[in-house]
Structure 1
């Protein structure tokens, strides 16, 4: 099982800075997923910025979310995250 999200910061460029349960800081780009109907509401920056870490993933008010494995496997290391560098 891959690590789960414990902290998330959504940015106005439609990326998310993530901290995982193993201490890794990674960045996930949502833009490639906006072509799928379930994720089109996330194209609205004010709505996107409402995303929060919840139950090991990132969730928005209307219950859009990503599989925690997708967030981990499709994200890239982010040493410049506002959440700090990995330990």
Structure 2
């Protein structure tokens, strides 16, 4: 199942929608992976499988539930889930820019 979310413009004072690291689109892939595209066109895959299965997963452990994982959304340019989990978009942008794939560490 592939779902895709496209960010909406945020017009809140002080928020710049053009920041290159902001996530513009996200699609859920198999095996706890996401396909993302940022404002500057940087695109790649985020592999969360190692983090989610780690004993130190913390808040991310709940994302083993694929129905919850599939509820990823974009808030202010960052990937978030209903349980409060989120990923640092600047770090993700840097890693995808270098490698096209980011295996989120445990």
Give the TM-score normalised by structure 2: 0.63
Aligned position for 2:104: none
> Size of the alignment, in residue pairs?
78
Aligned position for 1:28: 46
**Cα drift, residue 11 of structure 1:** 2.1
8 Å contact kept, 1:17–1:27 = yes
Consecutive unaligned residues in structure 1, runs of 5 or more:
79-87
Counterpart secondary structure, 2:67: helix
Counterpart secondary structure, 1:22: coil
CA deviations 1:21-76 (Å, max 9, x no partner) are: 10122110011222221210111111101101221111111221011123223334
Aligned position for 1:4: 22
**Cα drift, residue 2 of structure 1:** 6.0
Aligned position for 1:74: 95
Runs of 4+ in structure 1 deviating by more than 4 angstroms, as ranges, are: none
Aligned residues: CA RMSD? 1.9
Consecutive unaligned residues in structure 2, runs of 5 or more:
1-18, 102-106
Cα separation, partners in 2 of 1:49 and 1:67, compared to 1, 3 Å: same
8 Å contact kept, 1:39–1:64 = yes
**How many angstroms apart in 1 are the aligned matches of 2:44 and 2:63?**
19
8 Å contact kept, 2:72–2:81 = yes
